[in-house]
Amino acid sequence: MATAAHTILAPAVQTADCITVPQPANDTAPCWTTDRRARAILASMATQPPAGQWNRTRYGYDREEFWSFVGFRVECLEAIRSAYGHAALLHMDHTGESEAFHAFCRSVTVTAAIDGIIATAGQEG
């Protein structure tokens, strides 16, 4: 996993500077996909989609197979999304307002965001 994903596009910007939870927190809280770093990475995926792999897990007699995207850009998006979730969780712990955290939980996943970008790029081309 990338440990400093937030530095790939803007090394001088710290993650905490880019992640703020509005006061009061509500469902209009910014989604992680509005972050300029995430937008830049997602835009690059429109022209060069990331690689993917099939994952297989086994639990006793059950078997699960799922597709996931892999690579540094995907890890960067996961780190950005996790940072937003962490900020929303801290906000909930400090203020008791859970709306921002619930909005984060309902936000798009990294895989769904990448799928949407690839689908949109395919329709335009």
Non-local (6+) Cβ contacts of 26 within 8 A are 99, 100, 103
At 81 the pLDDT is 95
- Give the pLDDT band (50/70/90) at residue 124: low
Q: What mean pLDDT is predicted for residues 48-77? A: 91
Q: Return the percentage of the chain with pLDDT > 90, whole number.
A: 45
Hey, what are 81's tokens? Answer: 């999304």
Please give the mean pLDDT across all residues of the chain: 79
Least confident of 26-35, 95-104, 107-116: 26-35
Q: Quick check: helix, strand or coil at residue 80?
A: helix
Beta-bridge mates of residue 57: 64
